[in-house]
Amino acid sequence: MRALQRLIQGRVLLLTICAAGIGGTFQFGYNLSIINAPTLHIQEFTNQTWQARTGQPLPDRLVLLVWSLIVSLYPLGGLFGALLAGPLAIMLGRKKSLLMNNIFVVAAAVLFGFSHRAGSFEMIMLGRLLMGVSAGVSMNIQPMYLGESAPKEFRGAVAMTSATFTALGIVMGQVVGLRELLGGPQAWPLLLASCLVPGVLQLASLPLLPESPRYLLIDRGDTEGCLKALQRLRGTEDLASELAELEEERAACQGLRAHRPWELFRDGTLRRQVMSLVVLSSAMELCGNDSMYAYASSVFREAGVPQEKVQYAIIGTGCCELFTAFVSCMIIERVGRRVLLIGGYCLMTCWGSIFTVALGLQSSFPWTPYLAMACIFAFILSFGIGPAGVTGILATELFDQMARPAAYMVFGALMWTMLFLVGLGFPFIMEGLSYFLYVPFLVVCVCGAIYTGFFLPETKGKTFLEISEELHRLNFPRRSQGPTWRGPKVIQSTEL
């Protein structure tokens, strides 16, 4: 309750969360979901465009190939964006990187908006690539920015808002993509170009808000700027203890430069952090949640939902993830990160197992399609309450200021690569395993729960320095003392 009162007092922090989120992870979720509604319209447009150019219709398999490229260029762009995010966060800062990232959004919106008039499906492909780059940058920098700007008492809750905005973007994309709104055959260019609206909102609001205090002090040595940012973010609170903590962290990073991504894997002091990041970020993408969305339409139809009503049922799945992401923000500082991750993966294993049984028995009993439909909602709820949000803040909390940008580059590269591979391989898994298609995903969920239980330390309520010291003890258990921190000096270089 006291933390909630402090959050209300820090109105600037609330505005910072909203401004970073609306043009950040909201865009990721929004552009992930809006592409589903105009599928047939874009395929028809591709065929008509090719026929107008050559006089011959495009074969169905090539239409499908072009559509697959339009879909898959989004995660490919996300991979490029994730690799770009680290250098941007260091050279420009967290806030300026988010603002500059909207260049990709504006360019993509122009390409989408004029693609039909220009008769060019290549403009749609390029626009999807640019939106992927934008999503890759924002997915990395937004939780870094918010995690560094929040006080330790509810750092997890603030960083988890990234997942909330992702879920909100998914739901908004599903709603805007309804046939009654922008999902019709004539309005799809406007649907794709509507990504410009969140970008404009961020460009109008984020410049009025402060930069990350940690970035200003530790990376730039700007004590005065750090103090001003803290005063705006915290209101009238006594800042002496937080400034002392920041100064101590700056002292610990004295004389160091920012890590390069490959250096994380060679540094023995980061062994457990890197392993946790790789295992849990891979588990988040390989746990089957995105595939559950892909399978939802057919399950809803099997359950008797009319074809014209399936789109509304799918909106319900997005609302489930949004609800649990919001709940997680409220309880993460009470129950901790480990409980949410372990509980989420265990529940997903449970519901995924029941879903597998329901698929196998759907021809035997008339009620099994309804059980499968209930499992879809329960699986998505379980994912939203744990892995969806907690995994994204690991790079913020497990790594120090010098390693954090590189850690987010590794996290983003893994996330987008896994998203691409799952999208590519899921149709073959469906064909090869039939009713048992979810068994590989269940194995991943079990492994995620086991790893979290045995190897991931709890970070609730701890400063970044306390987390670093605990991880140092875990990485070097035979040494009785933690790392030796050097005296405070301004860092001269933070280049990757």
* DSSP labels, 185-253: TTTHHHHHHTTHHHHHHHHHHGGGSPPPHHIIIIIT--HHHHHHHHHHHHTTS--HHHHHHHHHHHHHT
Chain-centroid distance, C-alpha 446: 22
The pTM assigned to this predicted structure is: 0.82
pLDDT in tens, 135-145: 999 988 998 89
What is the pLDDT, as a whole number, of residue 297? 67
Task: Work out the pLDDT band at 473, boundaries 50, 70, 90.
Answer: confident
What is the pLDDT, as a whole number, of residue 489? 39
Question: What's the mean pLDDT in 81-89?
Answer: 89
Of the chain, the end-to-end C-alpha distance in Å amounts to 41
Task: Work out the pLDDT band at 98, boundaries 50, 70, 90.
Answer: very high
Question: What's the mean pLDDT in 165-169?
Answer: 91
What helix, strand, coil percent values describe the chain, rounded to 5? 80, 0, 20
What is the pLDDT, as a whole number, of residue 249? 76
- Cβ neighbors of 485 (< 8 A, separation 6 or more) are 248, 251, 252
Task: Work out the pLDDT band at 295, boundaries 50, 70, 90.
Answer: low
Is the predicted pLDDT of residue 266 greater than 50, yes or no? yes
Is the predicted pLDDT of residue 264 greater than 60, yes or no? yes
480 versus 462: the higher-pLDDT residue is: 462
- Cβ neighbors of 110 (< 8 A, separation 6 or more) are 193
Question: What's the mean pLDDT in 213-221?
Answer: 86
Is the predicted pLDDT of residue 206 greater than 70, yes or no? yes
Q: Which of 318, 250, 277, 283 is nearest to 410 (CA)?
A: 277
Task: Work out the pLDDT band at 299, boundaries 50, 70, 90.
Answer: low
**Alpha-carbon span 273 to 439, nearest angstrom:** 28
Task: Work out the pLDDT band at 232, boundaries 50, 70, 90.
Answer: confident
Query: Chain-wide mean pLDDT for the chain?
Result: 83
Question: What's the mean pLDDT in 124-138?
Answer: 93
431 versus 348: the higher-pLDDT residue is: 348
Is the predicted pLDDT of residue 493 greater than 60, yes or no? no
What is the pLDDT, as a whole number, of residue 127? 93
**Alpha-carbon span 281 to 390, nearest angstrom:** 10
**Alpha-carbon span 352 to 292, nearest angstrom:** 10
pLDDT in tens, 339-357: 999 999 999 999 989 988 8
What is the pLDDT, as a whole number, of residue 235? 73
Could you tell me if 132 and 75 are in contact, meaning their C-beta atoms sit under 8 angstroms apart? yes
- pLDDT over 90 percentage in the chain: 23
Decide: residue 439, CB within 10 A, 0-12 exposed, 13-18 middle, 19+ buried. Answer: middle
Highest mean pLDDT: which range of 31-40, 76-85, 232-241, 328-337: 76-85
Is the predicted pLDDT of residue 491 greater than 70, yes or no? no
308 versus 86: the higher-pLDDT residue is: 86
Is the predicted pLDDT of residue 65 greater than 90, yes or no? no
Is the predicted pLDDT of residue 311 greater than 90, yes or no? no
